[in-house]
Structure 1
Amino acid sequence: MAAGALLLATVLAGCSADSDNPPPDRQGTAKKPVKLTFMAYGAAEEVEALKGTVAQFNQDNPKVKVSFTAVDSEQAVVKALRSETPPDIYLLSRQDLGTVVSEKLNQPLDELLAARDIAFGDDYKRDALMAFSEEGRLQCMPYAVSPMVIYFNTNLIDWNAMREADLPTPRSHAFWTFDQFAAAAEFAASRPGAKGVHIDPTLEGIAPFIYSGGGELFDDPKQPTSLTLSEEKDREALAEVLDVLRNNQLTPTPKQLEKSDALERFTTGKLGMIAGYRNLVPELRKTPSLQFDVMPMPAIDNERTIGDVKGLCISATPGSTSAAADFVVHAMAPEAVAEVAKAGYLVPASNEVAESDAFLQRDQLPAHAEVFNRSVRDIVTPPALEIWSLLEEALAPHLHQLFYARVLEDLQAATEEIDEISRTVLTPPAEETESPSGTADPSSSSDPTPTSSSSP
């Protein structure tokens, strides 16, 4: 934490200090404007709002013409960046930041934004600024940050009824313990035809609980070589969580989930709780009869969660660096972000917008949207792994066994096996090497674990 605070201080100092203006680059005219491309992804409503952001910028800046391209995923953005015609400005998932920086597909923004008098301080969520800081520089401007939270059905989980039954309940929507979470799952499961909770049997699903119990998911926060689920803190947290999540009286079974997945069960009133990000809100609002609210991830020892963070970046060689920076400043302005936030999918990195009704939307569910803002400070950012999806794929059957095996005899052995498998993905065997005689070294692996260009 101290190292992170020091890095943030360095970045903020660089952003607020006087810095040389970037060298002059191509300037357009009204008759021949500079042409730039902006690439982003998101739900249809977000895309429409972003189109409005682009249109307003073009209207206000007749010497620049920004064209907008929507793609279907964050992976498509990285693929485009590696092409011969990369976008000049793009929306990036933090998970891909390591790839983008290492392959020099972007340029840092701190000096560009400082030259445009952009003040950071308390205006933006510090955790989001940290997430997009690498090599002592602000690589991209945080745009949205959404912590994982717990969604709960307020018809199945009634705090007042639980208190009357002398069950442990939270005092507010700001904090609750794992024991209170477990009691809520049991209360929901006591309703006819309902189960209490579903957590995906994935690294993403278990990560908040591991961190909350004082453990670490990986052996190194930057360049991990292994998971650490077999370490004592991790195992203790897993044991406590699995005591609830392996109870098929409280959680849907795999067969039940095949017939009706967790989201469908939740929206139809058959499941008390699911974990998710802010982008679930518009989907849940489509069911008018559904009454739902949000809570932070439950605390085992500490308040911890993970988050989905997105930022605005500029490519390494845009058509015009100054015009691209001007667009980023325009897109992150509160009035522009507010229009996108109204779609309901994102938690703005701008504190001004996050605390406004454009985001809180007090006339709609969830009633306690401020939970998202409070939970941002609890985000632990896992390493930015380009091969995250490959790692999840390799571990899927083993994590499934943790959750659903009829008998789990030895958690230590099970987690050691998972850690070992993670090492084959994170540190795969070397490719065949040439021996001094020029022939292939027979001791080298003939079928090394492949690497993937996909990201989570």
Structure 2
Amino acid sequence: MSPSTASCTPTAPKEPREANRRPAEPARHAHRRHRHRRVRRHRRADRRPGVPAGRGHPRRARRLPRAGRCVRAGHARRPGHPHRGEHRQGPDDQGVHLHRGQLPTRPVLDQLPQLRPVRRQGALAPVTARLAASASLHEQDFYPQAMGAFRWQGEQMCLPQNISSLAVYYNRTLFKQYEVAEPAAGWHWNDLVATAQALTRDAGGRTVRAGEPETAGTPVAVHGLGIAPELIRMAPLIWSNGGDIVDDPNAPTRLTLDTPQAREVMQDFLELPRIGVVPSDVEVEAQDYEARFAAGKLAMFVSSRRVTTAFRAITGFEWDVAPLPQYRAPANILHSDAYCMTRTSANQDAAWRFLEYALSDPGATLMAKTGRTVPSRISVATSAAFLSPGTPPGRSQIFLDTIPALRPVPTIATWPEIEDATGKVLENAFFHGDPLDKVIRDLDAATRTVFERGAASR
């Protein structure tokens, strides 16, 4: 892939470990926190690793099965076009390369929070004029929600490759076996919890409910739900409930998780382990959520489109996707990546020719057939290449139906650090039952200085 179709996710330097270290604590808690750090590495499938994806936020680096084909196809059409066959580069490397004036080797940029500082440094070449002059690409070809995530001060900085979001993957075979109704559009968070309770079973297929004497101590063979205790998982639920996660999405200075709307969602979310429908931290450490779902040990799993490719290899049961549950109104979080060009590259014309192919109907179709992403190009997203009749998930239309309700993560350069800082607090609260007021205070304390650094870089 052309070096000038660059990927960049600039991140501020990490704080020294000592600065983030917790005060000394009893050994019984210290070993738990150490274990949580390992659990987080297992689970962070959509994180920068938010992305994310987002990606709204980060996602784990993965090689796309057909990405090389797309590059080779574009290369065949444009002899002499330099290329590489990998989809993604780690965000820290991307940011370091751009700050040093070097070119990243793989093409994808997570969205707006990381775009502003890079644009300010002049690292990227806007594509506004090239897009206007293109005979094969037009702004209206793409979903506006994805285009807007990569627009800055009136300039289109990058062109989105995908527009994903969260969904509930579910084991249809288990739903049928236990005669549980499959999730429907518009279902509420309480419906999700009730469904998870109905599908949490022991090895004999009997329902296991936390707090019931007759099932006390019974090992769970199938948990009803798998969901990572992360802010990017809670955010769309808080939005759905009429709240927000920050004081100003365009120029945030702090978290706002102390509102009644946010508190209700957080309390419900953090109650899941006490209800007994999710695996423990020890179980997740032994086998992460994605692997547990593929092994038939989770009835439902909340994730983005990226797990589809792996799940299509499942042969032991049927599976499908359902919309994210809601509180008062539909809401979801934007996961989007984009192709960008570096300002100093000598290969911008070649890079643009590749971009025109990669985002054309033929190029975008190749990527859509991997199953891993939701195409940002409307004509391909609504085609059989993405909707894939006869191939799971059968309800891929859900990813398109949720697009009007998508929101990006807040716009601040230090957002990946904020996700990491909140993740540590939320994991402890999720698995060990910290009181909600303490959780909210700890989240604020862990992120205040990170917000301040991000605001200072504007």
TM, length-normalised to structure 1: 0.76
Hey, what's the Cα distance between the residues in 2 that align with 1:429 and 1:354? Answer: 35
- 8 Å CA contact 1:189–1:196 kept in 2: the answer is yes
Distance 1:110 1:37, change over 3 A: closer
What is the rounded CA distance, in whole Å, between the counterparts of 2:3 and 2:423 in structure 1?
41
Matches within 5 A, 1:357-368: 357-368=384-395
Counterparts of 2:367 and 2:423 in 1: how far apart (Å)?
35
Q: Structure 1 residue aligned with 2:179, among 161, 168, 171? A: 161
Match of 1:274 among 279, 301, 305: 301
Counterparts in 2 of 1:28-427, with a 5 A limit? 37-39=4-6, 43-46=62-65, 49-62=66-79, 64-68=80-84, 70=86, 71-86=88-103, 90-94=107-111, 95-117=113-135, 120=138, 122-158=140-176, 161-162=179-180, 170=183, 172=184, 174-190=185-201, 191-192=205-206, 193-243=221-271, 245-406=272-433, 408-409=434-435, 411-427=436-452
CA gap of 1:129–1:423, structure 2 versus 1, over 3 A, is same
| Partner deviation per Cα, 1:150-196 (whole Å, 9 max, x = no partner) | 11111223499235xxxxx65x4x33221221221111114442211
Assess if the C-alpha contact under 8 Å between 1:38 and 1:69 holds in 2. Answer: no
Q: What is the alpha-carbon distance in structure 2 between the residues aligned to residue 154 and residue 430 of structure 1?
A: 46
Partner of 2:31: none
Q: Could you tell me how far apart the structure 2 residues matched to 1:87 and 1:76 are? A: 8
Q: Are 1:226 and 1:420, in contact at CA under 8 Å, matched by a contact in 2?
A: no
- 1:239 Cα deviation from its structure 2 partner: 2.3
Letter matched to residue 249 of structure 1: G
Q: Does the CA-based 8 Å contact 1:196-1:250 persist in structure 2?
A: yes
Give the letter aligned to residue 291 of structure 1. E
1:385–1:341 CA distance, 2 compared to 1 (3 A): same
Tell me the amino acid that sits aligned with residue 282 of structure 1: T
| Cα contact 1:218–1:226 (8 A) shared by 2 | yes
Residues 75 and 83, structure 2, Cα contact 8 Å, conserved in 1: no
- The DSSP-based 3-state class of the residue aligned with 2:84 is strand
The total of aligned residue pairs comes to: 385
Q: Percent identity?
A: 25
| Change beyond 3 A, Cα 1:89–1:140 | farther
State the one-letter code of the partner of 1:328: L
The aligned amino acid for 1:68 is R
Tell me if structure 2 keeps the 8 A contact 1:268–1:290: no
1:430 is displaced (CA, Å) by 12
Q: Distance in 1 between matches of 2:429 and 2:106?
A: 42
CA drift of 1:399 comes to: 0.9
- Residues 150 and 99 (structure 1 numbering): CA distance in 2 closer, same or farther, change over 3 Å? farther
Q: CA deviation at 1:37?
A: 4.7
Deviation at 1:53, TM superposition (A): 3.2
More strand by proportion, 1 or 2? Answer: 1
Deviation of 1:292 (Å): 1.2
What secondary structure does 1:146 align onto? coil
Query: Which residue identity is paired with 1:67?
Result: H
Q: Secondary structure at the match of 1:286?
A: coil
Letter in 1 for 2:63: A
8 Å Cα contact 1:54/1:66 also seen in 2: no
Letter in 2 for 1:283: A
Q: Is the 8 A contact 1:39 1:68 kept in 2?
A: no
- The answer for unaligned runs of 5 or more in structure 2 is 8-59, 207-220
Q: CA 1:85–1:237 in structure 2 vs 1: closer, same or farther (change >3 Å)?
A: closer
The Cα shift of 1:336 comes to 0.8
3-state SS in 1 of match to 2:162: strand
Aligned residue identity for 2:62: A
Q: Would you say the 8 A contact 1:88–1:324 is kept in 2?
A: no
- 2:32 counterpart residue number: none
| Post-superposition offset of 1:428 | 5.1
Q: How much has 1:293 moved relative to structure 2?
A: 0.8
CA deviations over 1:244-295 (Å, ceiling 9, x no partner) = x232421112222233322222122221111111110111222211321111
Contact 2:89 2:107 in 1 (8 A): no
CA distance in 1, matches of 2:455, 2:129: 40
How far is the alpha carbon of 1:230 from its aligned partner?
1.2
Q: 1:90 to 1:397 in 2, by over 3 A?
A: closer
Code of the aligned partner of 1:129: M
Q: 1:42 Cα shift?
A: 5.7
Q: Which residue identity does 1:414 align to in structure 2? A: V
Given residue 82 of structure 2, which amino acid in structure 1 is its aligned partner? Answer: V
8 Å Cα contact 2:68/2:85 also seen in 1: no
Q: 1:430 to 1:78 in 2, by over 3 A?
A: closer
1:397 to 1:83, Cα distance in 2 relative to 1, 3 A: closer
TM-score (norm 2): 0.76
Distance in 2 (alpha carbons) for counterparts of 1:54 and 1:254: 41
The offset of 1:88, in angstroms, is 9.3
Q: 1:229 to 1:69 in 2, by over 3 A?
A: same
